[in-house]
């Protein structure tokens, strides 16, 4: 199965922010991903991106924002998550296919998909104070994990274990069924 294609490699420039982390990048050229259904997911020149939207507590398991074969997927996912008329669910499903098109194994794409779905759930379900920049999403790795961080890590571990039992070629709906058993969306 073809999972889609990218228009090439994104051309970016790191942005410096004197009052925040230097995690943002500016897109210098148009970039896009075409999903298996033929839908084009644009990432226009001039947009700002900040890497995969995986909660920081999951980085040690899943990976950080700008590493591995999901980097290009994170670019179009960042834009899709902030595009009017695109649901987070749609953006996350596209991210799964873009991860596969970018070279991620099926197992890795499943875990990444679970990570962004947990991130979507956490942003709606956990108290706002726990999702503040100075708290859960941007903690230094050496700090003692909070209860919320431990909870998200545990959920990802449980979800990942069940996803490994699925046969090759499992659908997004099958992945969602497993996620729904662990999280209330």
Spell out the per-residue pLDDT of the chain, length 185, in tens. Answer: 799 999 999 999 998 877 766 778 999 999 999 999 999 999 999 999 987 666 677 777 777 777 789 999 999 999 999 999 999 999 999 999 999 999 999 999 999 999 889 888 888 877 665 544 444 444 445 566 778 778 888 999 999 999 999 999 999 999 999 999 999 76
Instruction: Report the alpha-carbon angle 93-179-106, nearest 5.
Output: 55
Q: Which residues contact 132 (CB under 8 A, 6 or more apart)?
A: none
Number of domains the chain contains: 1
Range of the domain at 160: 5-182
Place of tokens 């228009």: 7
């Amino acid at each position: 199965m073809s999972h889609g294609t990218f228009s090439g490699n994104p051309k970016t420039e790191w942005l410096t922010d004197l009052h925040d982390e230097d995690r943002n990048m500016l897109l210098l050229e148009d970039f896009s991903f075409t999903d298996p259904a033929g839908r084009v997911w644009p990432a226009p020149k001039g947009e700002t991106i900040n890497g995969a939207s995986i909660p920081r507590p999951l980085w040690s398991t899943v990976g950080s924002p700008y590493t591995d074969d999901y980097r290009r997927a994170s670019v179009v996912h960042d834009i899709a998550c902030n595009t009017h008329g695109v649901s987070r669910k749609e953006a996350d499903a596209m991210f799964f296919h873009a991860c596969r098109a970018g070279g991620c194994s099926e197992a890795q794409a499943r875990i990444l998909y679970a990570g962004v779905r947990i991130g979507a759930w956490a942003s709606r379900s956990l108290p706002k104070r726990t999702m503040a920049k100075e708290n859960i999403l941007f903690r230094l790795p050496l700090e003692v994990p909070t209860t919320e961080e431990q909870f998200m890590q545990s959920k990802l571990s449980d979800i990942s274990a069940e996803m490994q039992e699925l046969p090759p070629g499992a659908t997004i709906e099958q992945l969602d069924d497993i996620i729904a058993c662990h999280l209330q969306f």
